[in-house]
Copies of this chain bind each other. A is one copy, B any other.
Amino acid sequence: MPTHHVDRRTLLAGAAIGAGALITPGPALARSGDLAALERAVMAGRDDSIRRIQEWIRTPAIAAENRDMQKGADYMAALARDAGFTDVEIVPTDGHPGVFGVLDSGAKRTLGIYFMYDVKQYDATEWSSPPIEARLVDKPGFGKAIVGRGAVNQKGPQATFLAALHAFRKAGRKLPVNLVLVAEGEEEIGSPNFRQIVTKPHILAALKRCEGIFLPASWQNSQGAVDVNLGAKGIIELELIASGEKWGRGPKKDVHSSLKAMVDSPSWRLVQALQTLVTPDGNTPAIDGWFDTVRPLSAREKALIAENAAHDSEADMKQGLGVPAWIDDLPFARALERLASQPTVNIEGLVAGYTGPGGKTVLPARAVAKIDMRLVPNQTRADCEAKLRAHLDKRGFTDIEAKVSGGYDPTETAEDSRLIRAELATYARQGVKATLNPRLAGSWPGAVFTSAPVSLPAGHFGIGHGAGAHAPDEYLVIDSTNPKVAGLEKATMAYIDFLYELAAIK
């Protein structure tokens, strides 16, 4: 039954008769003669694959809480060894360790794999199913799903990729490409030490042999569509802090608000500093020199955005976000161009003094703006941090602290790289609508790979569906009841097909 989409019943029927056709195989996979054996191995490994995701979720490592990080790294290393990686090592950093391993199958080409073994913090009281029990729960409209922290971000998709490797072992087949795995445990705190891992000489040498590097992902939407991002914005996350302590004016601790008549206010100082950072409409950074290195969109990038604007539903997007109008009432295509091309200075949060219900007559000693600044090529995090400091200093705000907690440079990956072309070919074969997006407005540590010295194409690949990253009730669909969305076995087979595609593509 060759079909692009199999629902759960079809899939289970297929398992029962040991038949293939979970996916439409690419020519390389079809020619290899491995298809039937690999499909059987994937089906036979189903219970192990589910258990692998669940057990990993039940072993949380949370960098932000310094929770079980060594255990998390050890567990990551064990998962890699079990899947066939050799030379697996825990790689120490100034922060939490990473994991490195290789899988040499004697193939011509090598592919890099990026994993994160840490997960975001969670508040168990907000979950309808306990966040580290990884229960199987019915998700109406999608099917049976594993609910737990890390289910989609990123243990579930990563374990699905590992399931593909186990299928090769079980089927006694050789991988069509060699693999290089680099994993970190600090993704959720902004990868502050990841560069230390990839620039270790032997790891860098291994990465330099790769065609590209990818992070397994399960981001099909309810229509089965995915994005292929040719890059991502960078980010700097920071707190701007005005305080009597640093200022040498105003109070060192909160005092009664009546004293405002004779005591300076750090809160007002923060407000005055903040308003210099953007244009009066709040929409364009006004930090000195901010646009000096900004590269405008290319004609090709604009064309891709216009195409996406024509296909996406602006009304749905506005409805989903609760946003009645874009900045300056821009038409959709122009708003999407802005999304891809414009650096931003955003206020994530404001915190000063009394924050409870009603009021309290205090003059706060400290005021904080939580800020994220999105960067575009060719801005760099280091240059932008220096420009922000210079901008504040020039205006006399030398006392206002810019406490950077993390960030990434922007990334770019060429549309004609083998990595991107193999992704597009694989998606096309599976009937998955893949939208070429010139630049993800979100950010990920990909710049560690795309910039020197690693300088590799980098992106995400995978089918299947999950949601709730950083939120309660995060999930990954295992048995899909949505014919447009892949379940666990089909997602596993798509990784296998992708590896063959990457091995064969011109």
List residues of chain A with CB under 8 Å of any chain B CB: 64, 189, 233, 235, 237-239, 244, 248-253, 255-265, 267-272, 274-275, 278, 280-283, 321-327, 330, 335-336, 338-355, 358-365, 367, 370, 372, 374, 405, 440-443, 470
Contacts and interface: CB of A to CB of B under 8 A. Distances in A.
Copies in the assembly, this chain? 2
B339 A262 contact: yes
Given A282-B271, A347-B367, A358-B405, A327 B264 contact: yes
A95 to B, nearest CB: 15
Contacts of A275: 271-272, 275
A252 B323 CA distance: 6
30 contacts: A233-B258, A238-B359, A244-B322, A249-B324, A251-B323, A252-B324, A253-B322, A256-B442, A258-B374, A261-B339, A261-B344, A262-B327, A262-B338, A262-B339, A263-B321, A264-B282, A268-B281, A270-B350, A271-B274, A347-B353, A347-B364, A347-B367, A348-B353, A348-B361, A349-B352, A350-B350, A350-B353, A358-B405, A361-B372, A361-B442
A280 B272 contact: yes
Contacts of A441: 258-259, 261
Contacts of A282: 264-265, 267-269, 271-272
A16 B238 CA distance: 68
B252 A322 contact: yes
A343 B339 CA distance: 44
Contacts of A270: 350
Contact of A237 (B250, B336, B359, B363): B359
A278 B420 CA distance: 54
Contacts of A280: 272
A320 to B, nearest CB: 9
Nearest to A268: B282
A263 B367 contact: no
A264 to B, nearest CB: 6
A358 B261 contact: no
Contacts of A257: 344, 346, 348, 372, 374
Given A278-B268, A321-B255, A370 B359 contact: yes
A235 B442 CA distance: 45
Contacts of A405: 358-359
Contact of A326 (B262, B274, B326, B355): B262
Contacts of A256: 442
A352 B347 contact: yes
Contacts of A443: 258
Contacts of A259: 321, 323, 339, 441
Contacts of A263: 321, 323, 326-327
Contacts of A351: 350-351, 355
Contacts of A323: 244, 250-252, 255, 259, 263
A348 B269 CA distance: 13
A261 to B, nearest CB: 5
A484 to B, nearest CB: 24
Given A257-B372, A258-B344, A268-B347, 15 more contacts: A249-B324, A251-B322, A262-B339, A264-B282, A268-B281, A271-B274, A272-B280, A322-B365, A347-B352, A347-B353, A349-B352, A349-B354, A351-B351, A354-B370, A360-B370
B322 A271 contact: no
Given A321-B259, A339-B262, A370-B353, A267 B347 contact: yes
